[in-house]
Structure 1
Amino acid sequence: MDELLAEGLSLMLFGMGFVVVFLTLLVIATNIMSRLVMRFEPAAAPAVPAKGRASSSSASGQPDDQTLVAVMTAAVQKFRADRNGQ
């Protein structure tokens, strides 16, 4: 019985050690790949908004906000009505 317990314990330690080594190598490989990608990837160009688009988006933003508020208000009212009905 002692031999079986000792063998199970050694097998458990071997398996856990293998998992720890594998995960450590996986983290190291992922870090190396990340550094390689960051080194060879070209820098992203900063996005510059067009002047014409900025004014049109702010003008069209108001009706969208009002519509969104109206939809949210209707949804809350329906939820409260359904909850009170149950």
Structure 2
Amino acid sequence: MQDPQLLQEGLSLMAFGMGFVFVFLTVLVVATTLMSSLVSRLTPAPAPTESGSREAGAADDHDGELMAVISAALHRYRRRR
């Protein structure tokens, strides 16, 4: 083959490959978007919780306990240094 003909064939093959990848990725993005909207429509809404005040109290207990553990760990670390 001659050089210009070989170059022309290489460029056309490159354009075909890049076009195919572009079309595939476009179809992939559209399909993902459609599936996401379909799933969000089909999933039920989360049920509202009735005991909101009890959960806040339980979270405060866990926060206090966590603070105590962290404080004890810091005290022990500083004492060793």
Q: What TM-score, normalized by structure 2, do the two folds share?
A: 0.72
Residue 84 (structure 1) aligns with? none
Q: 1:60 to 1:35 in 2, by over 3 A?
A: closer
What secondary structure does 1:25 align onto?
Answer: helix
The percentage of counterpart residues that share the same residue type is 43
Length, aligned pairs only: 76
Partner of 2:22: 20
Evaluate the alpha carbon distance shift between residue 27 and residue 60 of structure 1 in structure 2; reply closer, same or farther with a 3 A threshold: closer
Mapped pair 1:31 → 2:36:
no
Residue among 53, 60, 63 paired with 1:61: 63
Measured in 1, the distance between the counterparts of 2:22 and 2:45 equals 36
Displacement after TM superposition at 1:71 (Å): 3.2
Q: What is the TM-score of this pair, normalised by structure 1?
A: 0.68
Give CA deviations for 1:5-33 in whole Å, capped at 9, x if unaligned.
11001000100000000000000001111
- Name segments (4+ residues, structure 1) moved above 2 Å: 46-57, 69-74
